[in-house]
Amino acid sequence: MNSEKASSPISPATAAYATLPPEQQQQRLKELAAVFFRLGTVAFGGPAAHVAMMDDEVVKRRQWMSREDLLDLIGVTNLLPGPNSTELAIHIGYERARWPGLFVAGGSFILPAMVLVWLLAALYERYQTVPQVEWLLYGIKPVIIAVVLQALVKLGRKAAKDVPTVLAGMAAIAAYFAGLNEVALLLLAGLAVMLFKNWQSRGTTAGAFLLPFSSAIAQVGSTTATAVSIGWASVFLFFLKIGCVLYGSGYVLLAFLQRDLVEQNQWLTSQQLLDAVAIGQLTPGPVFTTATFVGYLLAGHAGALAGTVGIFLPAFLLVGLVNPWVPKLRRSPWARGFLDGVNAASLGLMAGVTYTLGQAALVDGPTVILAVLSAIMVFCFKVNSAWLVLAGAAAGLLLSLTGLAA
């Protein structure tokens, strides 16, 4: 019996990437590319919706990792500067196939949005208008609310594991509506839960190695564009600096761009910047592909590529450096308490974002009906979120053509 167990082969789906033969390594990379390219094509709704879709695909359908492992990765990405949902995709890629998987997963997730935004930027430069596709978001937004709610329920069961984490999550919800700094809140929640769970210990340096995660906070707001001419190199350096220090959503990115590109350097007008952000919101995938649009307006095709690479490159490098430490953090009782607090606070922030998204999405009777039907489909029938998003887009078009859309 024992010899049979010892000789039983390890499933290629769960085996470590380095132990696989070359053909199976290639197959794993192809699978990563297919999954994240599809997610990047249908991932409307911002980071909260992206996380929900990744949870559905990676944990539920493919069982690449446990929900607790995914929560740890979510907690770590919230402590790093850069686009959170893209960093989560990069983390998952690293977990599956190390550095090759890191670039394949992240690049595949970014590519659909980048290409679409690039095309829209070229059309915009010619016609100076944003395409009118409100019907698309009209149908998709209510579906996204149901998808995010499902993820909140699933992830919340893992994150709210005891009284300290429940309190951290509730505090995060309150702090979100109070408008407090998200990164500071995550750090405080992590420290509070860590200290509460280890209050009997007298060690004072156990969590010191976590401080590098927050070292960039003091730099936020220090990025300043100083280039005189607008070439692709200037675009790359400008967005590289933003990618290194920017925390928060696409709305925080808007504040950076408004100050540096519009007010200080006067490279863009306020209307052009608002149109750029609108394009980022209208397209699937990471909102940070706004950099593709701005880069094109500033320096043509080379600028579009330079802006995209510049803003996303720090995310790839940071995840590759930090990811190997995640299991070590989970084994330390102090670090485990810190991550528990950060995970709970992350879910609290996600709940606050969901409420805000709901206010923008549920604007009339048809959108409420769409949200209810979508919730029934995801909770009762376990329908894949990608299909629901496509169905929401079709419903939005149908409602627009019949004149029932708001």
pLDDT band per the 50, 70, 90 thresholds, residue 269: confident
Burial of 400 (0-12, 13-18, 19+ CB in 10 A): middle
The answer to whether residue 110 sits within a structural domain is: yes
What does the mean pLDDT of the chain come to? Answer: 82
Three-state SS for 202?
A: coil
CA distance 270 to 128: 13
Degrees (nearest 5) of the Cα angle 220, 224, 225? Answer: 145
CA distance 56 to 51: 9
Contact 42, 389 (CB under 8 A): yes
pLDDT at 390 over 80: yes
Nearest by Cα to 345 from 194, 142, 130: 194
Say which residue, 335 or 31, is predicted with more confidence: 31
Least confident of 246-255, 371-380, 388-397: 246-255
- What is the separation of C-alpha 154 from the centre of its chain, rounded to a whole number of angstroms? 17
Q: How far, CA to CA in Å, does 145 sit from each of 8, 157, 341, 386, 394?
A: 44, 18, 25, 13, 17
CA distance 58 to 63: 6
| 327-344 mean pLDDT | 83
Instruction: Specify the pLDDT at position 8.
Output: 44
The answer to whether residue 263 sits within a structural domain is: no
Say which residue, 61 or 131, is predicted with more confidence: 61
pLDDT at 194 over 70: yes
pLDDT band per the 50, 70, 90 thresholds, residue 93: very high
| 141-158 mean pLDDT | 85
Three-state SS for 248?
A: coil
The answer to whether residue 147 sits within a structural domain is: no
Give the tokens for residue 207.
Answer: 């969590």
Least confident of 97-111, 170-184, 365-379: 170-184
Instruction: Specify the pLDDT at position 385.
Output: 76
pLDDT at 200 over 70: no
Instruction: Specify the pLDDT at position 10.
Output: 52
The answer to whether residue 373 sits within a structural domain is: no
Say which residue, 58 or 401, is predicted with more confidence: 58
Instruction: Specify the pLDDT at position 1.
Output: 43
pLDDT at 203 over 70: no
pLDDT at 211 over 60: no
Domain hosting residue 100, numbered range:
20-134+160-219+320-359
pLDDT at 357 over 80: no
Nearest by Cα to 329 from 10, 91, 76, 116: 76
CA distance 320 to 322: 6
The answer to whether residue 66 sits within a structural domain is: yes
Say which residue, 86 or 43, is predicted with more confidence: 86
Q: How far, CA to CA in Å, does 13 sit from each of 60, 89, 131, 386?
A: 14, 18, 42, 23
| 272-290 mean pLDDT | 80
Residue 211, C-beta contacts closer than 8 angstroms, at least 6 positions apart: none
Instruction: Specify the pLDDT at position 255.
Output: 63
CA distance 240 to 252: 16
Percent of all residues in the chain with a pLDDT value above 90, rounded to a whole number: 39
Interior/surface letters 99-130, b for 16+ CB within 10 angstroms, e for the rest: ebbbbbbbbbbbbbbbbbbbebbeebeeeeee
pLDDT band per the 50, 70, 90 thresholds, residue 278: low
Least confident of 73-87, 222-236, 241-255: 222-236
Contact 368, 142 (CB under 8 A): yes
pLDDT band per the 50, 70, 90 thresholds, residue 33: very high
pLDDT band per the 50, 70, 90 thresholds, residue 347: confident
Tally the domains of the chain.
Answer: 1
The answer to whether residue 51 sits within a structural domain is: yes
Residue 251, C-beta contacts closer than 8 angstroms, at least 6 positions apart: none
Tokens 């005891």: give the residue: 162
The answer to whether residue 386 sits within a structural domain is: no
Instruction: Specify the pLDDT at position 82.
Output: 84
